[in-house]
Homo-oligomer: A and B are copies of this chain.
């Protein structure tokens, strides 16, 4: 009998995850929207219509499964994770939750649960790759540039949100933390814009984003930074909205009605951030890890350029995020990763054999990380 997996959330990434897992496992997927249900059913995924904000119902639903995949918006991530652990189920999660998931480590250990979090492309693969190298060398510096962008550049934002758009706005607001010479530095999101060239697409701009997350706690590396990539000039256009107050969560009174500007902005903006049917995206990532290995200075440079798959109509962000998640799900389902507690992906990468297994899994699906090393 194949093992049973349940995917919570069937958005653009969640549905790619479910379809990938259904090739090998008995897979179900749950959402409050039926938007992708027909597509999922075509790929042998059982679909369940349910409001997952009802945690009691969610707990009941997952009771019969071997593994849970969390693919919900950031604001639902933490409470879902907690309830899954309480229910006694292993989980791989990709939601970009604002809360500190490490606060659930004790509970997960107590319940003998394996819970891998932040398990997408970024956060996710950067952590896993760093975890791997960190187990082999003394790392001095980790830099990650990453972005998911539409192929068509539509003015003024030249951006489409593949994951929850409200999470994107949060990323534009949340102060960015990085480590420089051993010290934690906190800067504005969207700060320190620099231009970077990529051979596949030309010049992009990179800005400080708060993507290090668990690495700030789990790693003792003196220099670590993550920057997000956008088409040049568009970050400025986001700043216009942010600085003017359109992202504010503070209620204002408009013609006698109390309202938060962010809610109105979401309504106005998000339709513009939606990929149109057939529209493609790409994921681009450059990771630079340098330090000392076997007594020698060494630098590793990873480059990922992945484009959407027109044949299967699968977005690149769904591929690069989703297949990282399913790669790790496979490790758990095959008993190759069974650490109890909360595991950010650097823990997974640090364990012998996992890095190679995940890279091979991704390669099979056409997601190729080029890696060069030089002294």
Contact = CB atoms under 8 A, between A and B. Distances in A.
B263 A255 contact: yes
Contacts of A267: 252-254
A237 B155 CA distance: 12
Contact of A261 (B239, B241, B264): B264
Interface string A268-311: 11001000000000000000000000000000000000000000
Contacts of A263: 254-255
A184 to B, nearest CB: 29
B259 A259 contact: yes
A155 B243 contact: yes
Interface string A346-363: 000000000000000000
A254 B245 CA distance: 17
Given A243-B156, A244-B156, A264 B272 contact: no
Nearest to A261: B268
A246 interface: yes
Nearest to A264: B264
A240 interface: yes
A254 B259 contact: yes
Nearest to A266: B254
A246 B244 CA distance: 12
Interface string A147-189: 0000000011100000000000000000000000000000000
Contact of A244 (B245, B248, B257, B272): B272
A280 to B, nearest CB: 23
A252 B261 CA distance: 13
A156 B246 contact: no
A264 B269 contact: no
Contacts of A255: 259, 263
Nearest to A243: B156
Given A157-B244, A246-B246, A252-B264, 7 more contacts: A156-B240, A240-B240, A244-B272, A245-B272, A254-B259, A259-B259, A259-B264
13 contacts: A237-B237, A240-B241, A244-B268, A245-B272, A246-B246, A246-B268, A248-B268, A252-B264, A252-B267, A254-B259, A254-B263, A255-B263, A257-B257
